[in-house]
Amino acid sequence: MTPSHDMTREGEVMYDLIRDLYPICRSITGDGVRKTLAVLRKHIPLEVHEVPSGTKVFDWTVPKEWNIRDAYVKDRKGSKVVDFGQSNLHVVNYSVPVHATVPLEELKKHLYSIPEKPALIPYRTSYYKEDWGFCLSHSALQSLSGPEYEVVIDATLKDGHLTYGEFVLPGETDEEILVSCHVCHPSLCNDNLSGIALATYLARSLQPLPRRYRYRFLFIPGTIGAITWLALHEAATARIKHGLVVACVGDGGSFTYKKSRRGNAEIDRVVEHVLRASGQPYRIREFTPYGYDERQYCSPGFNLAVGSLTRTPHGEFPEYHTSADDPSFVRPEHLAASLAMYRSVMEELEANRLYLNTNPKCEPQLGKRGMYRHAGGYGGGADRELALLWVLNLSDGTMSLLDIAEKSGLAFQVIRAAAEDLLAHGLLRPLDPQQSNSR
């Protein structure tokens, strides 16, 4: 399960995908998401689902579909002082259509800038209150002096659909691993074209491998998309054993894992173990009910074992939710290293099984099976031999290979190899899926 990957190449293709998706104006509904998913279909055969506006999804309702053609603010001379054609961040996402001439004083009530970062355009939305607005750099805002301006937002907000993408890789069992990323942000690269690209290429690279788990990749608008999917697939959530929300994986910050609400789920322990074994700096954070779609997956009625593995978390890099989160902010090599980390997590989840020692009373005679050194005398055992003893001693049906690795202090790969050796000699047998399901 560890073919060597051409990380340079993988980084580049993910980066190219991000560049392809960057210009599209996405939102929680509308053609931006559809175009995005169409691009992704060139990479993986995902299915596109459409859910009609007005559909009740728990406490929420699928909203109207928003589409935008053009938007600008023109001064009296006819110059566009704010132009959607330059950056789709210029329009407050989900703005209602408007065409009016308004005095500067009035206009300013609809303008958003960041005084502390005067060169950057902020990203703002108004999903759940019908309103309109423009975002612009603070320096541009300050240069406005005309008495009145023509404002145009050529958008439509009407019944339509919420669109999301889903891609499922079957496995030997019907236990699932969920990988979820939000596809609602417009021209912002780290948040979250990086997550979209990673999820796509994680799916691609798992495709040729044997898989114990079924993998479900969701490309959904944030919040309302996760709520919609959960509402429409409530029964199916019982099969989700582990999950990760992918976002902000293209910057150069160290990895950050936000635990699931359970706090000690297998996904939490595996990700922490993989990060620790990487030798690189990393951060582990407890669950909080604020963040990305883990908020929904970890709501108390679901309480799924879903964490979020990012690099620098949302809100903690200065480029966050501004026009500076552009293609220059993410790097192919960071994307590639993030993909490799996700792959290591999946590999460890696949390998982290519970076994039963078939010969639990006293040690089995490893020597007669040729598994052991011959001329002995209680000399210092090598790691491999110690690993055999640890796996035999602890495989009582309650401890997984990760538990054994942590208890023994040996590397997971050494423990795993010992388990495979013992399995091949009939000294171990996997707990059958029914039993492991009931944990």
Report the residue number, 11 or 222, with the smaller CB distance to a copy of itself.
Answer: 222
CB of 88 to a copy of itself, least distance (A): 14
CB of 162 to a copy of itself, least distance (A): 14
CB of 343 to a copy of itself, least distance (A): 27
Dist CA 166 CA 164 (whole Å) = 7
Cα Rg of the chain (Å, integer): 26
Report the residue number, 211 or 295, with the smaller CB distance to a copy of itself.
Answer: 295
CB of 262 to a copy of itself, least distance (A): 12
Report the residue number, 22 or 302, with the smaller CB distance to a copy of itself.
Answer: 302
Report the residue number, 281 or 375, with the smaller CB distance to a copy of itself.
Answer: 375
The contact set with a copy of itself (CB under 8 A) reads: 57-60, 92-93, 112, 122-129, 131, 133, 223, 226-227, 230-231, 234, 261, 288-290, 295-296, 298-303, 314-315, 321, 357, 359-365, 367-368, 374-381, 386, 389-390, 392-396, 408
* DSSP code string of 107-173: HHTTEE--TTSTTPPB--B-SSS----EE--HHHHHH---SEEEEEEEEEEES-EEEEEEEEE--SS
Buried b (16+ CB within 10 A) or exposed e, 379-407: eeeebeebbbebbbebbeeebbbbbbbbe
* DSSP code string of 286-324: ---S-SSTHHHHTSTTT--SEEEEESSPTTSSTTTTBTT
Report the residue number, 122 or 171, with the smaller CB distance to a copy of itself.
Answer: 122
Report the residue number, 159 or 234, with the smaller CB distance to a copy of itself.
Answer: 234
Buried b (16+ CB within 10 A) or exposed e, 254-280: ebbbbbbbbeebbbbbbbbbbbeeeee
Report the residue number, 78 or 379, with the smaller CB distance to a copy of itself.
Answer: 379
Dist CA 347 CA 5 (whole Å) = 14
Give Cα 213 distance to the centre of its chain.
18
